[in-house]
């Protein structure tokens, strides 16, 4: 019988070992496969907009979902001011449990895993929506997520050129340095306009707790795909509203994206397309070469569930976890207090 009170725990150290063992591009490609498979069975999942607790400086969120067999949730924060204090903007951890017993089967760091799954999700959307033959991506915002985004687009969409821009040149230099040697042609640019030259895919991944205008309407030509990652909170967006009005907008879960995504700037009934329906073939993605497609990414619980499921499956053959004595489980299930007394007697 499985020892259900011992929960495998993936520390940051073990997550790094797992990702380095398999290779980040393979991990993101495989997570994208898990997300794609879960989006195909979208309708059977429990879905709810994430539960957000806002403060003046950031947000702390819980993201739960279940497919009826497994239940998962992620704890995640978003604090744009943190980097100035030497802290991460986004940190996370998550848990997977079996519905049958309610017992956890995995506890893991999810700061790295969130970057991997966000990039995997972005590239998966672009695989369906980007214009044919788009091999150049503008990467605006070169912080913690940026290299993951670039490498996922290389592995999943065949991007060969990445053009970087950040208001902080040190972030661009860091990103260019980290991407060296991965087979990507990387250009550091001095403005968002310069970064977008020749780019069929434009990724915005900036962090600022305001209605920012990273892209204005005149910057966007016909036929491009926009992957808008950074606008993911009420009052935190990246694109000028006029771009939205010219775009076909694809979203994860509309009730959440209408609160958090770029489309918070639009009327509540503005038409959007649920991306899972593109995957199942219920609706079409890009229909012509001049269309502007926009993936209004906010990050949805099912993507984290897929990532948790992926890590759980990897641990069947890889040694990158530690046993965690996490569930109090007395021999006689009703004798929880007795377990405490026996521990006291033993300690005496
Ligand atoms: P980060 O703080 O590490 O990096 C953000 C970068 O944006 C910084 O280097 C900053 O200098 C730059 N920036 C800010 N304003 C800019 C501007 N006007 N033009 C160009 N660059 C600008 O943050 P991160 O962890 O990389 O996350 C980036 C964003 O993505 C955050 O807003 C975060 O909340 C969001 N995010 C979204 C998802 C999702 O699923 N959609 C997942 C993770 C993170």
* Residue-wise DSSP of 105-143: EEEEE-HHHHHHHHHHHHHHHHHHHSPTT--EEEEE--S
Q: E strands, the chain, where?
A: 6-10, 51-54, 59-66, 70-78, 92-98, 104-109, 136-140, 161-165, 185-188, 201-204, 211-215, 225-228, 237-239, 247-251, 273-274, 292-296, 322-325
- Is 214 found in the same domain as 191? yes
- Span 152-176, average pLDDT: 98
Q: Is residue 117 part of a domain?
A: no
Can you tell me the distance from the alpha carbon of 130 to that of 262, in angstroms, rounded to the nearest whole number?
19
**What distances in angstroms separate CA 136 from CA 166, 201, 223, one per listed residue?**
17, 7, 13
- Is 293 found in the same domain as 202? yes
Q: What is the CATH number of the domain that holds 225?
A: 3.40.50.720
Can you tell me the distance from the alpha carbon of 253 to that of 133, in angstroms, rounded to the nearest whole number?
28
Query: Ligand 1: distance of its center to the CA of 230 in Å?
Result: 5
Q: Where residue 287 falls among pLDDT bands split at 50, 70, 90?
A: very high
- Span 101-125, average pLDDT: 98
pLDDT at 212 over 90: no
Closest residue CA from atom 9 of ligand 1: 143
Query: Ligand 1: distance of its center to the CA of 200 in Å?
Result: 21
- Is 203 found in the same domain as 158? yes
pLDDT at 340 over 70: yes
The pLDDT of residue 323: 97
Q: What is the CATH number of the domain that holds 106?
A: 3.30.1780.10
The pLDDT of residue 2: 60
pLDDT at 178 over 80: yes
pLDDT digits over 17-48, tens only?
Answer: 999 999 999 999 999 999 999 999 999 999 99
- Is 137 found in the same domain as 18? no
Q: Is residue 153 part of a domain?
A: yes
The pLDDT of residue 260: 94
- Is 251 found in the same domain as 184? yes
- Is 273 found in the same domain as 177? yes
Per-chain mean pLDDT for the chain: 96
- Span 229-254, average pLDDT: 95
- Span 155-177, average pLDDT: 98
Task: Please state the separation of Cα 115 from the chain's center in Å.
Answer: 6
- Is 143 found in the same domain as 267? yes
Report how many domains make up the chain. 2
- Is 264 found in the same domain as 221? yes
Protein residues whose CB sits closer than 6 Å to any atom of ligand 1 = 78, 83, 89-90, 114, 118, 140-145, 166-168, 171, 205-208, 212, 214, 229-230, 232, 297-299
Top mutation candidate among 79, 206, 235 for ligand 1, by most atoms within 8 Å of CB: 206
The pLDDT of residue 85: 95
Query: Ligand 1: distance of its center to the CA of 326 in Å?
Result: 34
The pLDDT of residue 208: 84
Domain end, chosen from 259, 280, 298, is at: 298
- Is 262 found in the same domain as 140? yes
Q: Where residue 211 falls among pLDDT bands split at 50, 70, 90?
A: confident
Q: Is residue 309 part of a domain?
A: yes
Query: Ligand 1: distance of its center to the CA of 97 in Å?
Result: 31
- Is 221 found in the same domain as 149? yes
The pLDDT of residue 4: 74
- Span 319-340, average pLDDT: 95
- Is 229 found in the same domain as 146? yes
**CB-based contacts of 149: which residues, under 8 Å, 6+ apart?**
118, 119, 122, 123, 139, 203, 205, 227, 229
Q: Is 241 exposed, middle or buried (0-12, 13-18, 19+ CB in 10 A)?
A: middle
- Span 78-82, average pLDDT: 93
Query: Ligand 1: distance of its center to the CA of 207 in Å?
Result: 3
- Is 70 found in the same domain as 30? yes
Atom of ligand 1 nearest to the CA of 214: 18
Q: Is residue 123 part of a domain?
A: no
Q: Is residue 124 part of a domain?
A: no
User: Comparing 309 with 210, which gets the higher pLDDT?
Assistant: 309
Q: Where residue 252 falls among pLDDT bands split at 50, 70, 90?
A: very high
pLDDT at 1 over 50: no
- Span 283-304, average pLDDT: 97
Top mutation candidate among 141, 149, 169, 300 for ligand 1, by most atoms within 8 Å of CB: 141
Q: Is residue 64 part of a domain?
A: yes
Closest CA to 209 of 74, 91, 54, 63: 54
Q: Is residue 119 part of a domain?
A: no
Q: Is residue 264 part of a domain?
A: yes
pTM of the entire structure? 0.96
Closest residue CA from atom 18 of ligand 1: 214
- Find the domain containing 101 and state its range: 6-112+302-347
Q: Which residues are catalytic?
A: 232
Domain end, chosen from 257, 272, 298, is at: 298
């Amino acid at each position: 019988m499985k020892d259900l009170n011992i929960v495998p725990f993936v520390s940051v150290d073990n997550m790094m070992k797992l990702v380095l063992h398999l290779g980040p591009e393979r991990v993101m490609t495989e997570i994208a496969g898990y997300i794609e498979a879960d989006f195909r069975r979208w309708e059977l999942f429990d879905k709810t907009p994430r539960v957000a607790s806002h403060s003046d400086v950031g947000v702390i969120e819980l993201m739960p979902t279940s497919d009826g067999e497994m239940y998962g949730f992620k704890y995640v924060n978003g604090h744009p001011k943190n980097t100035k204090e030497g802290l991460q903007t986004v940190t996370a951890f998550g848990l997977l449990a079996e519905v049958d017993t309610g017992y956890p089967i995995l506890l893991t760091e999810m700061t790295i895993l969130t970057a991997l799954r966000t990039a995997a999700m972005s590239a998966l959307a672009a695989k369906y929506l980007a214009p044919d033959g788009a091999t150049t991506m503008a990467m605006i915002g070169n912080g913690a997520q940026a290299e993951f985004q670039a490498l996922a687009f290389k592995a999943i969409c065949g991007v060969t050129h990445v053009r970087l821009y950040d208001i902080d040149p040190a972030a661009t230099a860091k990103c260019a340095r980290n991407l060296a040697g991965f087979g990507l042609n990387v250009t550091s640019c001095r403005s968002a306009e310069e970064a977008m030259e020749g780019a069929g895919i434009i990724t915005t991944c900036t962090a600022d707790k305001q209605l920012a205008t990273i892209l204005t309407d005149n910057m966007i030509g016909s036929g491009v795909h926009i992957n808008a990652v950074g606008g993911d909170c009420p009052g935190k967006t990246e694109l000028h509203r006029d771009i939205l009005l010219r775009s076909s907008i694809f979203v994860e879960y509309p009730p959440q994206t209408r609160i958090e995504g770029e489309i918070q700037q639009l009327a509540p009934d503005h038409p959007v397309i649920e991306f899972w329906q593109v995957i199942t073939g219920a609706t079409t993605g890009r229909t012509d070469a001049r269309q502007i497609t926009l993936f209004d990414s906010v990050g949805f619980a099912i993507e984290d569930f897929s990532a948790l499921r992926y890590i759980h499956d990897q641990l069947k053959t890889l040694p990158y976890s530690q046993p965690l004595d996490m569930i109090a489980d007395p021999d006689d299930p009703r004798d929880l207090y007795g377990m405490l007394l026996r521990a006291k007697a033993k300690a005496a």
